[in-house]
């Protein structure tokens, strides 16, 4: 294999992988935008319970009614920032203006109490839904999920640049 062929192979593999990542990221972003844009109607829902995951994530579960049928959804966050430390004296939880959920907890934390303080059972939350399919919905703010899409686009662009750099490195330094 000639140095030119080797360089082209490296560029094709790395550039192709980068292009695939960028395309997937763009498709994820477009899908989230379409999902959010389809949610044109709004109804008040009520917090009925809470869910907790093993990864220190918690969120309220909301029931809402459309055309006499009851639906259930949960509040989604753009991300989670958890501080788990034995030095935390007072546990706290809040959502920032970007939609990121923050949780500071110590060795023993009553997450049920924190959830109840944030989202009292029976409290109302705005649910935006697709009138043609209420299962497509979001609570209070659009779910962008741009982090995953942006990460794929950024990594994909980096892989493309690395492929271009490697192309010239292989051309300059044939084996």
Q: What are the pLDDT digits (tens) for 135-159?
A: 999 998 766 666 778 889 999 999 9
The two structure tokens encoding residue 147: 């982090």
Q: What are the pLDDT digits (tens) for 74-113?
A: 998 888 888 888 888 888 888 898 888 898 887 777 888 8
First to last CA, the chain: 10
Among 166, 170, 129, residue whose Cα is nearest residue 38: 129
- Strand ranges (DSSP E) for 28-159? 41-52, 58-66, 69-74, 79-84, 92-95, 100-105, 124-130, 133-139
- The reported pLDDT for the residue numbered 168 is 87
Among 65, 53, 75, 71, residue whose Cα is nearest residue 119: 75
* Mean per-residue pLDDT over the chain, rounded: 87
* Maximum distance among all Cα pairs of the chain, rounded to whole angstroms: 72
Domains of the chain, by residue range, sit at 1-39+151-175, 40-141
Residues 6+ apart with CB under 8 A from 94: 101, 102, 118
Q: Check if the beta carbon of residue 62 is closer than 8 Å to that of residue 127.
A: yes
- The reported pLDDT for the residue numbered 50 is 94
d(CA 27, CA 1): 37
- Report pTM: 0.69
pLDDT at 63 over 70: yes
- The reported pLDDT for the residue numbered 55 is 65
- The reported pLDDT for the residue numbered 175 is 62
- The reported pLDDT for the residue numbered 156 is 93
């Amino acid at each position: 294999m000639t140095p030119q062929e080797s360089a082209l192979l490296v560029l094709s593999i790395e550039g192709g992988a980068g292009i695939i990542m960028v395309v997937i990221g763009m498709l994820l972003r477009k899908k989230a935008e379409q999902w959010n844009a389809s949610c044109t109607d709004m109804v008040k829902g009520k917090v009925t319970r809470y869910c907790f995951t093993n990864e220190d994530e918690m969120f309220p579960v909301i029931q809402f009614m459309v055309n006499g049928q009851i639906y259930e959804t949960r509040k989604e966050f753009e991300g989670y920032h958890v501080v788990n430390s034995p030095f935390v004296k007072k546990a706290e939880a809040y959502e920032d203006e970007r939609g990121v959920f923050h949780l500071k907890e110590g060795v023993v934390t009553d997450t049920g109490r924190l959830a109840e303080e944030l989202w009292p059972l029976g409290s109302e939350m705005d649910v935006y839904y697709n009138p043609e399919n209420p299962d497509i919905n979001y609570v209070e703010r659009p779910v962008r999920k741009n982090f995953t899409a942006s990460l794929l686009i950024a990594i994909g662009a980096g892989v493309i640049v690395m492929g271009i750099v490697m192309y010239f490195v292989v051309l300059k330094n044939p084996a």
